[in-house]
Amino acid sequence: MLELDQVRAGYGAINVLWDVSLRAEAGQLTTIIGPNGAGKTTLLRAIMGLVPVTAGEIRLNGERLNGTPTWEMADHGIAMIPEGRMVFRDMSVEENLIMGAFHKSHRAHVKRRLEEAYEMFPRLRERRTQLAGSLSGGEAQMLAMARGLMSDPRLLIIDEPSLGLAPLIVNELFEILERLKAGGRTIILVEQNTERAVAVADHVYLVQSGRVALSQVASEVKLKHLHELYFAR
């Protein structure tokens, strides 16, 4: 379980998150939604140690994460799939996947996890020797997700996976999220598509201006009310 308790974080003198508290329960999918500039990506970066936490505490299964370097997050079983894919364009699809298991504790399982990745994303098997920079947007997103899974993380953090993708690809990605959730993976999802995000989630948080404006079990969320809060009506 991941917990944020009264977290403040930002960039230099500019504070973005204001006393944010939330919980991502083990084996569940927690969705964080909100308008552009609300602080969603900053929140994920704070969890990953990319943005300093100036107040409050972040804990994973009771263990304090504050101050943990980003490169040590894999030791804690955390992987992040960033917004914008960020694949290694001049490396092949398979080389990108192998980079996801670069940490020495995961190298012994590379072959098995490659096969698991190709089973989950059959299109990547077809493109395994192709340069990542030549993939379509949807294929690059699949590669980014598969690479994140190569370390078999206990906590998977995903930032805006559907951004800029065709509806058919979005459907595929959300089907994969459903499968990962059914398999017991703990997932934090930041997503602009509120209807799809709520449908796949166990719990929903709405972030507005760096603060939590709504925390609700997904099955109880009313989209009309959510959208009114989202657009600050």
Q: For position 61, which CATH number holds?
A: 3.40.50.300
pTM of the model: 0.91
Contact 109, 152 (CB under 8 A): yes
15 assigned to some structural domain: yes
Contact 7, 21 (CB under 8 A): yes
Going residue by residue through the chain (233 aa), what tens digit of pLDDT does each one get? 999 999 999 998 899 999 999 999 999 999 999 998 999 999 999 999 999 999 999 999 999 999 899 989 988 999 999 888 789 999 999 999 999 887 666 666 788 999 999 999 999 999 999 999 999 999 999 999 999 999 899 999 999 999 888 898 899 999 999 999 999 999 999 998 999 999 999 999 999 999 999 999 999 999 998 988 888 75
Contact 17, 38 (CB under 8 A): no
Contact 179, 120 (CB under 8 A): yes
Residues in the chain: 233
Range of the domain at 200: 1-76+188-233
C-alpha pair distances (Å), 140 with each of 36, 69, 172, 178: 23, 27, 13, 20
| Angle between the N-to-C axes of helices 110-120 and 137-149, in degrees from 0 to 180, rounded to the nearest 10 | 140
Count of domains forming the chain = 1
Contact 91, 132 (CB under 8 A): yes
Which residues lie below 8 Å from residue 103, measured CB to CB, with a gap of 6+? Answer: 74, 75, 151
232 assigned to some structural domain: yes
105 assigned to some structural domain: no
42 assigned to some structural domain: yes
168 assigned to some structural domain: no
11 assigned to some structural domain: yes
212 assigned to some structural domain: yes
Q: Which residue type is seen at 131? A: L
139 assigned to some structural domain: no
